[in-house]
Amino acid sequence: MLPLVHVFIATTHGLVKIQQIRARTGDALASFVSIANSARVSKITPQFREFVDPQTSPVASYFSKDSHHMIIDKDIQTGESWQLACCIAQRLSLLSRLAESPVQASDSIIIATGQVDHKGARVAMISHLAQKCLQAQSTILSWQKMGCDIRFFVPNENLRQPLPDIRFSLSGVSSLSEVEAYFVERAWLAESEVYMLGSKAFAEKMAPPRNALALAEISKGISKAISKAPSMRRLLNQNRNKTIAPKSVILKGTDTKGTSRVMPNKRKLAFMTLSVLFLLVLMLVGAWFGQNAPPSTHLDYAIDLAGNCDNTSSLALVNQHQASQPAAIQEFQSLNLDNLCELHVRFENLENIPADVVLVSDSYLALPLEKTDEATWEIPLPEFKEANRRYILLVLPETFDAADIQSLNNYLETLYEQGLTVNIEHLANWSTKQSLSVNFIQQELVKG
């Protein structure tokens, strides 16, 4: 018996199950969406009717009949992010693999949110992904305990945005061809069935990647250029055979007639004096910046190798500059998120240890860090690791109390509501209004 697959639409009010989607037989029948096997018609029916019409659908090969009927278990008020799940349910229905019964233990489940446009059935970016993930989390966790196989498809472009710390993974897709590639991988769909639907994009996906072909062409072009170019080895040998000029020649000048003459002793002395003065100025400037810079910091991290978290290393700062606002900005080199198992920030200058260190995550949350010793604070790792993550540390010379944390979290919530990202500029503005002296440290944790 073929395995059946449940399909759910991720919405801002929770998951909505697609119970059934079928073509309607008969002339002049209109497409519509009904709710839970009742006579009630969903509010998205006008958009659905246009989406599945073979004359206007971006995926006419999926909806070849004149009209269709989709049944969902709860109404959807507005929006178009139901389109990706609708296409997935229709594709599974054509294969007789769409599950209509309630979810049982060990079932296969697909959750999706995304808008499908006319440009190669591309999956376009949608809004409120973070809210949809949080609304779905409790249901997904219960399914995980039941041993269900769950795949959550979202637009690739959305994975570049900050996401909340969720305890399940997201699969980014750019087009329907990538969803069909997953079907082929799971043996739900044969390649011949994909081609019968005319998915040219999927055929391109199964071919060698364009980047690989481009690299091959570039490599071939470089080889040809090298073969036609003069021998670099011969040029190097020519330079190697040249003798180095004596020191007396190095100190030569040129008069107005173009002839060489030895630099007089007075000019030599002036040149050396200016050089020494220049070096002294550099040393004084360096000392001033050293006194006014934030305390020297290191990032200690551990990589999980074969279940052991003992492979420790350390990073020094790779960037440090003074911002326009009264705050210093420091940055650590990015780390691979996949095998990272421990992260600590350590301050070496014991005479200038901060009073508190607060982490602000890209999921709009401020969290005071806990000390592991006199000069070290532990940085918690994000639970959601399916996309690049970024955090900012606020290094504070004075104690940051509960009221300060609440004020900062309220500010972060305002940023989220206004659709603004968490960055140092916004945090510096907030700290200035609070009359706080803050140093900032930022780092990106990279997926894959």
Q: Is residue 229 part of a domain?
A: no
Looking at per-residue pLDDT, the higher value among 53 and 274 belongs to: 53
Within a domain: 69: yes
| Domain endpoint, select from 258, 292, 326 | 292
The whole-number pLDDT of residue 170 equals 92
Q: What percent of the chain lies above the pLDDT cut of 70? A: 72
Distance CA(237)–CA(222), nearest Å, equals 23
Of 292, 325, 357, which residue constitutes the final position of a domain?
Answer: 292
307 and 286 in one domain? Answer: no
Mark whether 27 and 148 lie in a shared domain. yes
Residue 91 lies in a domain: yes
- CB atoms closer than 10 angstroms to residue 416: 18
Clarify whether residues 260 and 324 are in a common domain.
no
Instruction: Tell me the average pLDDT across 305-317.
Output: 78
Residues 201 and 277 in one domain: no
At what angle are helices 83-94 and 176-185 packed, to 10 degrees?
A: 40
**CB-based contacts of 96-103 (< 8 A; 24+ apart in sequence):** 96/2, 97/2, 97/3, 97/4, 97/5, 97/188, 98/4, 98/5, 98/7, 98/18, 98/20, 98/21, 99/4, 99/5, 99/6, 99/7, 100/19, 100/20, 101/4, 103/6, 103/143, 103/146, 103/148
Q: Are 208 and 153 in contact (CB under 8 A)?
A: no
Residue 215 maps to a domain: no
Average of pLDDT values for 95-99?
A: 91
Residue bearing the bigger pLDDT, 27 or 104: 104
Who wins on pLDDT, 348 or 265? 348
pLDDT of 240 above 50 = no
- Report pTM: 0.49
Domain shared by 12 and 88, yes or no: yes
Half-sphere exposure for 245 (CA within 13 Å, toward CB): 6
* 115 and 259 both lie in a single domain: no
User: Is 354 contained in some domain?
Assistant: yes
Same domain, 34 and 169: yes
- 96 has a pLDDT exceeding 60: yes
DSSP at 106: T
One domain, residues 190 and 64 = yes
**Does residue 218 fall inside a structural domain?**
no
Task: Judge whether 217 lies within some domain.
Answer: no
Q: Is the pLDDT of residue 155 over 70?
A: yes
Structure token pair of residue 317: 């700062």
In a domain, 225, yes or no: no
Confidence at residue 254, expressed as pLDDT on a 0 to 100 scale? 41
Quick one: residue 299, left, alpha or beta (phi over 0 = left, psi -120 to 50 = alpha)?
beta
Q: Of 272, 292, 312, which residue constitutes the final position of a domain?
A: 292
- Work out how many domains the chain is built from and give that number: 3
DSSP assignment of 376-437 equals: EEEPPPPS--SS-EEEEEEEESS---HHHHHHHHHHHHHHHHTT----HHHHHHHHHHTT--
Judging by beta carbons within 10 Å of its beta carbon (0-12, 13-18, 19+), is residue 443 exposed, middle or buried? buried
Instruction: Tell me the per-residue pLDDT of 293-310, one tens digit each, with 9 for 90 and over.
Output: 445 788 888 887 777 777
Q: What is the mean pLDDT of residues 319-345?
A: 72
Instruction: Examine the pLDDT at 149 and tell me if it is beyond 70.
Output: yes
Residue 58's pLDDT is what? 87
* pLDDT surpasses 90 at 207: no
| 121 and 181 fall within a common domain | yes
Mean pLDDT of all residues belonging to the chain: 77
Tell whether 88 and 121 lie within a shared domain: yes
**62-93 pLDDT, tens digit each:** 887 878 999 999 999 889 999 999 999 999 99
**pLDDT in the model for residue 15:** 97
Q: Which two tokens stand for residue 406?
A: 């609440």
CA 189 – CA 305 distance, rounded (Å) = 36
- The parent domain of residue 255 ranges over 247-292
Is the per-residue pLDDT at 236 higher than 80?
no
Cβ atoms of 272 and 261 within 8 Å: the answer is no
Does one domain contain both 314 and 202? Answer: no
Same-domain pairing of 310 and 429: yes
**Dist CA 246 CA 199 (whole Å):** 73
Taking alpha carbons only, the member of 323, 321, 415 closest to residue 362 is 415
Q: Are 314 and 296 in contact (CB under 8 A)?
A: no
CB within 8 A of 44, min separation 6: which ones?
33, 76, 77, 78, 79, 82
Structure tokens at 189: 């769909």
Average pLDDT score over residue span 41-45: 94
- In the block, which residue shows the tokens 């700290």? 431
Question: In whole angstroms, what is the distance from residue 231 CA to residue 292 CA?
Answer: 52
Q: How far apart are CA 385 and CA 387, in angstroms?
A: 6
